[in-house]
Amino acid sequence: MVPGTTKRNRKFLAITAQLLCGVAVAGITAVPARAADNYDIRVMTLNIWSKFKQSPEVTAAFMAAANFDVLGMQEINGSTYVTRIPDFLQAAGRGTYGNVQVGDVGIISRLPGKFGTINLGGSTQGRYVSYTQLDAQGSRPQTLIGTVHLDYADGSTGRLNEAKALNTWAKGSTQPIIVMGDFNAGDVSERGLHHIDAQIRLMQQSDGNNFYRDLSRQYVQNANEPTMRAIIQEAYSGQNIDNLSWKQWGDALSAAYKAGRDVGLQEETYAVDNNTPVTMNVLKKKYMLLQTDAIREGFKPHDLNDGSTTWPSAGEDATNTWASWDRAKIDHFLVSRPFGKWYEIVDDPKDPHTGVIKDVMVTKPGGQPEAISDHEPVAHDFRWVGPQLQTYSENNTDKTRLVWGENAYGFADKNKEFVLTRNNHRTDLYLGQISDDNGNPILSGLTLEEKKTLLNCNSKDARFQQAIKDYCIDDHSFIGETAVTDGGTIIVSEDAALGNADARLRLIDGGLRITGSDMKALGRTVSLQGLGWIDIADANNRVTLLQQATGEGALLKRGAGTLVLGQANSYTGGTLVEAGVLQAGAAGSFVNNTVFAMNGGKLDLNNFDVTMSSLSGEGGTLSLGSAALTVNQSVNTRFDGNIDGTGSLIKSGAGVLVLNGANTHTGGTTVKNGGLVIGDASHSGAFLGGTISVENGAYLAGAGAIGGLYAGAGSIIAPGNSIGTLKVTGDLAFDSAATYVAEIDASGESDRIDVSGTATLGGAKVYVEKAVGTYMPGKRYTILSAEGGITGTFGDLSQNMPFVDLGLAYDPNAVYLDIARNDVDFIATAKTSNQKSVAVAVEALGAGNAVYDTVVMQESEDDALRAFNALSGEIHASTRTAIINDSSIVRNAVMDRIGAAFGTDGQSSVIATDVGSAHISAPRAAIWGQALGQWSKTGADGNAGKLKQSTGGFVAGYDAEVLENWRLGALAGYSRTSFDVNDSNSSGHSDNYHVGIYGGTQWDATMLKAGLAYTWHKIETDRFVAFPGFSESLDADYNADTFQAFGELLHRFDLNGTAIEPFANLAVVRLQTDRFNEQGGNAALQIGKETTTTTFTTLGLRASAPVVFGSMNAKLNGTVGWQHAYGDTIPAATTAFGAGTVFEVAGAPITKDTAIIKAGFDIDLGNQTTLGLEYSGQYGSSFSQNSGKAKLSVKF
């Protein structure tokens, strides 16, 4: 505490306390809002002095209301504050607090961490720091918060040594340190600036006290001496006032001052020599004072309750009779450098528990309200606003990583940018406080106003440069590495801001921006992960990376300035330039076999060779100098910028490189592999100078211009992008084994090579590609021109279309291509009967018809065959196949029903209801019903495509006994058949409506079954006709009807309980479809009326046998057979394109021979109820049909 045991006036002003009591009670009831998501720390410091040491519970309400995270307390020796207050706070629901106390200081904290103490030395009894080391949380790093008490009894020497010990603590820490407590020293004066009345009291006590006399002399020297001496002379009339005592002077001045007279003394507005703030001057070398403007100590004497004083408090002021002290702010918060610039006070102005907390009154047990201490509490909310600090281990040494990313405070609000500077821009240091190691001011020649002026850390004044270096420029050697991630950017203006040269810079999808022009080198390893960028903001700045760039990431150059890569690097993610210059400073600076991209700026090889795995970008300049640039890429890329220099350019790899810039490169270019395109369709102004040599297997294309061209053996020259002209400003020469690929279209446009010099053709091949369209005989195209003349001719002429022929013609300065329809008929390329039918019909349409015009331009025979298949309309023939195949579901239902009625074993899923009686096994009359369902697939036969179909429906009937042993009935039903031919993008469905009659008779073991059925079909089809150059969606709907007659003869044999039934079956099916027209486009067909008649015979065997499952009787049954089809087994459709030639197409065939398999069982459930399951299958060459039945029979 401050020197002088009688410093404090312990007199209690009861009246003042009572007046303030109401304010204090109101103040401690509010609970301040917390910003937990920012991990703020709410901290209070309080010198409790000797108040209530035996009853700390009287402060509990205040402590709980204030809701502090950390409390630092001083002068608590002999008290229970530190041990008991945590219990009060926990009981109030404020959390669980830990604590530590050593000597007369203690600290309490509820935040995760640990506690410790430090011995500062100093006085004979020792001065200590009690601290808590807070764990890192969120954006806030691990932080040490300590509390100290620099006692007044230690004297100035003792306090200086203690301050130096605190500085040593800060210097050795790689973590932020917040020191709070009672320093017994003001900010701008050691003991506070004295009012006039305090100066007079000091004079009155200066006799016999040399220290007081020295102070009094300084106040007298600063006074209006004539006025002061006149006052004293008036009080001691006739006496020589120079022989008077100090007390007599003081008494005379005191009487006059109390009377309101001017006594000549001046308010102390700057510290006199013996009041210099040496303690704080020393501490400010390693710490920054954290304070708000509201509590900043001014250069004038404090007034009670002015918002900045902390001693003495309102309830303890009284007459403040300690002469060498006036009111002062001696309780402070300091943050260690270099971290002080990243901790801020974020007090809520409406929070009554932050700042200098005035008028805190508490009540002693059984007593009156009184001040909580002779010190006023000071509290703040502190927030870390810098990058995250992480601890990591390297070579068994703990190091600090600085991280700027999304988890850092304010990352998004700051546009992901952070200015990392050693300049702390502090606002707590005055020019008059710049001092030597003992706190003595060292700047001479300053005016009083200059002494009271804050040091400007950006000042260019030569007088203050050393001070700026000592006080403003922090030491960043604590940084082991800096990591920038999540799209963030660290901004620096000097390399030292990033730490020593061994401190890595890690760019993990983040970047570094260098501002100004003072930083000329980036002297550390740069590790790249993801995309890392370096931004040289100043166009006049040139920065060299002195160490390697490493990692799996890519390097992006941003900013208008220049970045020089000074070493051979190993990063593998590629190199990108957005602005400014990125220059190689050594061999290997640009990593070989990695990708390069430019959207602006300049990539300067600086005469160092490089091999790129790809080159792309929208702009910028790639400067070779004399270097050899090899672009060895397997991908296709485009570069719109400029290539300059005299070095060589080599294109290798299977990919295509498009150069769209007006390149000023004059060196030679070699295309070894893949393709090089000079100017795509939208960049006809592209240019590449020098001579381009194209080697075996490579090609050159484009619509721009080149200097010269040699097409070597095996090379391909393909001017244009689609159709266009490649200009050659020099000479052109073809090797005899080179190929010129020219594209033409039906409008008369063609690719062309326009040569300013001579063109030597050398017998090279010409290959012509034709675009979509109709090529009329007699059309001529110019495919090459040469102002300097043409030497030689081309050799072979190849083309890629089956129905068009081309020919070459020459004059002295041009080569022409003439077109003619050849004599190849469409049918010559067709292979199947359907294709041939379509080919003849399309050929007959003639030129001018959209279908003909598109077929004639097909580029290959395969494309022509696809066209014929798509145009055939085979779905209409295959629809007939689907309908005839599905006719079996009606007759099978009838046969099953008759068998069930006569009690044979081939029973169906029938529910029969008696309406009478009969002599045969079934009731005299019955109503029955059966669900229909089957799925089938007919394979392609080399002409028509594969047909798939499925059917579902229901049929019901009524039958009755007639003529004693005959049974006759009638049926009706509905089903829906869906079918598709995927090979021709066709599908359809048919809604089927069924009626019929049937009958049967039995004599002995022989049975005869027969029936007639009629079905009316409503059919809809859709097909998508698509082949190169043509696409249409067509649809049709039409009607059809089916008539069928069928019968079966069988005989039953019983062998030891097993029934055997050989049978023979005959069915005749006749299908007739209406005439109809497709709708939807030029390929729509007209389909004629058709009739298809098919006969089916089946020979087979049925068997059934009884079995027992537990207590239930059951019957197993099965059928095998062979079906043969006669008559129209390949359904066909007669069609035409509008009024064109009629042609016939065949559909999927009806399989002639198929095996029939059925298997099932029936279980007697009792009560006249039978449950059965049955599977039916039909199999033939490229044909399969499957169905399943669930049978439930109930007899009445």
Give the model's pLDDT for residue 774. 67
Mean pLDDT of 24-53: 66
Q: What is the pLDDT of residue 454?
A: 96
Residue with tokens 């007699």: 778
Cis bond leading into 312, ω under 30°? Answer: yes
Put simply, whether the predicted model's pTM sits higher than 0.75 gets the answer no
Banded pLDDT at 311 (limits 50, 70, 90)? confident
Kindly report, residue by residue over 994-1003, the tens digit of the pLDDT: 999 999 999 8
Among 1-10, 81-90, 387-396, 779-788, which is the least confidently predicted range?
A: 1-10
Average pLDDT estimate for 820-830: 88
pLDDT tens, residue by residue, 44-63? 999 988 777 778 888 888 99
Angle value at C-alpha 529, between 528 and 531, nearest 5 degrees: 85
Q: Strand, coil or helix: what is 695?
A: coil
CA dist 469 → 452, 458, 797 (Å): 20, 10, 81
The model's pLDDT over 192-224, given as tens digits with 9 standing for 90+, comes to 899 999 999 999 999 988 888 988 999 999 999
Per-residue pLDDT, averaged over 387-395, amounts to 95
The percent of residues above 70 in pLDDT, for the chain, comes to 93
Q: Is the pLDDT of residue 408 over 90?
A: yes
Q: For residue 389, what pLDDT is reported?
A: 97
Compute the residue count for the chain: 1196
pLDDT at residue 371 tops 80: yes
Please report the pLDDT score of residue 491 as a whole number: 98
Determine the pLDDT at residue 37: 63
Per-residue confidence (pLDDT) for residue 804, from 0 to 100: 80
CA atoms of 845 and 1141, how far apart (whole Å)? 8
Q: 101 by DSSP, 3-state: which? A: strand
Query: What's the pLDDT at 802?
Result: 86
Scanning the structure block, which residue is given the tokens 């050593």? 102
For 1004-1149, list the strands marked E by DSSP. 1006-1027, 1030-1051, 1053-1055, 1058-1073, 1076-1077, 1085-1087, 1090-1109, 1112-1127, 1132-1137, 1142-1146
In the chain, count of helices (H) and strands (E)?
Answer: 16, 73
Encode pLDDT of 866-884 as tens digits.
Answer: 999 999 999 999 999 999 9
For residues 1124 and 48, the model is more confident at: 1124
- Confidence at 914, pLDDT banded by 50, 70, 90: very low
Phi first, then psi: what are they for 529, rounded to 5°? -135, 130
SS3 content of the chain, % helix, strand, coil (to 5): 20, 45, 40
pLDDT band at residue 656 using 50, 70 and 90 as cut-offs: very high
SS3 1161: strand
Instruction: Decide if pLDDT at 1082 tops 90.
Output: yes
What is the band of 1196 on the pLDDT scale with cuts at 50, 70, 90?
low
pLDDT, residue 449, reads: 92
Instruction: Give the pLDDT score at 376.
Output: 92
Please check the confidence at residue 1074 and state whether its pLDDT lies above 50. yes
Is it the case that residue 318 has pLDDT exceeding 90?
A: no
Average pLDDT, the chain: 90
What was the pLDDT predicted at 260? 94
- Reply yes or no on whether the pLDDT at 845 is more than 60: yes
Asked if the model's pLDDT at residue 7 lies above 60, the reply is: no
Task: Using the predicted structure, report yes or no on whether residue 178 has a pLDDT greater than 50.
Answer: yes
Mean pLDDT of the 67-71 span:
97
Rounded CA-CA distance 173/391 in Å is 13
DSSP state of 634: S
**pLDDT-based confidence at residue 126 (cuts at 50, 70, 90):** low
Identity of the residue numbered 762: G
pLDDT at 4 over 80: no
Pairing of strands 1058-1073, 1090-1109: antiparallel
Task: Order across the sheet with 127-134: list the strands.
Answer: 113-121, 127-134, 143-149, 177-182, 331-336, 287-289
In this structure, of 8-17, 142-151, 504-513, 708-717, the range with the lowest mean pLDDT score is: 8-17
Q: Give which of 1069, 1160, 1165 is closest to 1115, Cα–Cα.
A: 1160
Helix (H) or strand (E) holding 299: none
The predicted pLDDT at position 22 comes to 32
Q: Which of 1077, 989, 1074 minimizes the C-alpha distance to 1034? A: 1077
DSSP SS3 for 3: coil
Average pLDDT over residues 898-918: 50
* Distance (Å, whole) CA 560 – CA 497: 21
Residue 348 near residue 303 (C-beta atoms within 8 A) = no
Check residue 800 and give its pLDDT.
Answer: 67
Rounded to whole angstroms, the Cα distance separating 778 from 817 reads: 10
Q: Are 556 and 581 in contact (CB under 8 A)?
A: no
Indicate the range of 263-272, 766-775, 979-988 predicted with least confidence: 766-775
Residue 655 Cα distances to 286, 365, 678, angstroms: 61, 91, 14
Instruction: Evaluate if residue 19 carries a pLDDT over 50.
Output: no
Asked if pLDDT for residue 23 goes beyond 80, the answer is: no
**Cβ(308)–Cβ(193) below 8 Å:** no
Residue 31 has pLDDT above 60, yes or no: no
Is the pLDDT at 920 greater than 90, yes or no?
Answer: no
Judge whether residue 588 has pLDDT over 50. yes
Grouping H, G, I as helix, E, B as strand and the rest as coil, residue 407 is coil
Phi and psi of 878, rounded to 5°?
Answer: -70, -25
| Mean pLDDT (whole number) for 8-32 | 34
- Candidates 882, 927, 917, 921; CA nearest to 903 is 921
Average pLDDT over residues 19-45: 55
**Distance from chain centroid for Cα 312:** 59
Mean pLDDT check: name the lowest of 147-156, 597-606, 1065-1074: 147-156
Per-residue model confidence (pLDDT) at position 363: 83
Mean predicted confidence (pLDDT) in 1009-1028: 96
Least-confidence region, from 714-723, 876-885, 930-939: 930-939
Show the domains of the chain with their CATH numbers. 14-190+277-384 (3.60.10.10), 196-266 (no CATH), 387-414+477-591 (no CATH), 421-475 (no CATH), 668-824 (no CATH), 826-869 (no CATH), 872-1194 (2.40.128.130)
| Average pLDDT estimate for 627-640 | 98
**pLDDT of 1127 higher than 90:** yes
> What are the pLDDT digits (tens) for 496-518?
999 999 999 999 999 999 999 99
Helices (H), 77-181: 81-91, 155-171
Q: Per the structure block, which two tokens stand in for 491?
A: 């901004």
- Tokens describing residue 122: 């100093």
User: Could you give the 3-state DSSP secondary structure of residue 154?
Assistant: helix
Percent of the chain with pLDDT over 90: 73
